[in-house]
Amino acid sequence: SPPPVDVTAQWPGGSVPPDRPLVGLESRDVSAWFGTHKVLERVSLRMRPGEVTALIGPSGCGKSTYLRILNRMHEMVRGASLAGEVLLDGQDIYRPDRQPAQVRRRIGMVFQKPNPFPAMSIYDNVASGLKLAGIKVANKDALVETSLRRAGLWNEVRSRLRAPGGALSGGQQQRLCIARSLAVSPDVLLMDEPCSALDPTSTRRVEDTIAELQGQVTIVIVTHNMQQAARVSQSCAFFLATHDTPGHIVEAGQTRGIFEDPQDSRTADYVHGRF
Ligand code: ADP
Ligand code: MG
């Protein structure tokens, strides 16, 4: 198991964001296979510290696979392999002496379908990652409160922290999952279509949360919703795969440029819904 980390030093008082440096993530020439089927081809991308980077592109172009590579979940898939490097704060997360669980503590993941522990209390859901990560906290109540505040859920649940996570609405459950990820103080939060299962109002709340987190944690979000990509991200990468080319980045850069002045006609077609 990973060495214990005391996050209380990073969270004085439990109510303010940690005053520690933001950390960037970078992939260099990442290729990926399922068996002999190559699904990603030399994907190089810099996800800048504290920014929200949106990954866009049609279904099947490898966005979810790429996200799983970024926190070492890809290697858990049977038959999966990869080449290339992923650097967190300049350090290769695939270095042989690094433990996958330790990498995943620093690089959290939120999925399309909210997956809190439904029978577990809201409070325990938020705290559940701490034990798994071997993190000791002097003031767990404060950390749970801070995490729920950062996820934009505190005011809705403060009076019923002992209610089961499954009693919340879908959108609240998704923000609970974000709070659970934040509790272990990650450097990066990966989100794979976090709003696809949510109604428009809940979607907006999650987008507000993402906007609040910008500047506090490095975020990478996969989305099919172009308005959402434009609203929440500062940088954007457009992925594409064709029948004879594995998923690759066609164009990446500042979100505004991708939407308003795309350099590739395929990017223009995609962001304008002509795909
Ligand atoms: P996206 O998230 O962009 O829709 P995915 O990363 O899910 O794309 O999928 C990329 C390609 O990899 C697709 O061709 C898909 O069928 C294939 N793929 C994804 N997961 C697996 C798996 N576990 N085993 C085999 N092939 C997979
Ligand atoms: Mg996907």
Q: What is the pLDDT, as a whole number, of residue 260?
A: 96
Tokens, residue 269: 């077609």
> Averaged over 113-121, what is the pLDDT?
97
d(Cα 63, Cα 222) in Å, to the nearest integer?
7
- Closest Cα to atom 10 of ligand 1: 62
**pLDDT at residue 132, as a whole number:** 77
d(CA 239, CA 42): 12
Q: How far is the CA of 152 from the centre of ligand 2 (A)?
A: 25
121-172 residue pLDDT tens: 999 999 998 887 778 888 899 899 999 999 999 999 999 999 999 999 999 9
> Which of 30, 31, 39, 113, when mutated, tests ligand 1's pocket best, judged by the most ligand atoms within 8 Å of its CB?
39
ipTM metric: 0.99
Between the CA of 195 and the centroid of ligand 2 the distance, in Å, is 12
Question: Which residue minimizes the CA distance to atom 24 of ligand 1?
Answer: 34
Confidence at 3, pLDDT banded by 50, 70, 90:
low
Residues 6+ apart with CB under 8 A from 159: none
Give the position of tokens 């709003």.
Answer: 195
pLDDT at 18: 53
Nearest residue CA, atom 6 of ligand 1?
62
Residues 6 or more apart whose CB falls under 8 angstroms from that of 54 comprise 221, 222, 223, 228, 229, 232, 233, 235, 236, 237, 255
- What spacing in Å lies between the alpha carbon of 192 and ligand 2's midpoint? 7
Task: Write the secondary structure of 107-143 as one string of H (helix), E (strand) and C (coil).
Answer: EEEECCCCCCCCCCEHHHHHHHHHHHHCEECCCHHHH
How far apart CA 181 and CA 233 sit, in angstroms, is: 20
The token pair at 233 is 């991200």
CA distances, 98 to each of 17, 57, 220, 260 (Å): 27, 31, 22, 41
- Coil, strand or helix: which one is 189? strand
Beta carbons within 8 Å of 98's beta carbon, 6+ residues apart: 92
Tell which atom from ligand 1 comes closest to the C-alpha of 61. 3
φ, ψ dihedrals at 233, nearest 5°? -105, 155
Ligand 1: which atom is nearest the Cα of residue 239?
Answer: 3
Supply the pLDDT for residue 139.
85
Decide if pLDDT at 14 tops 80.
no
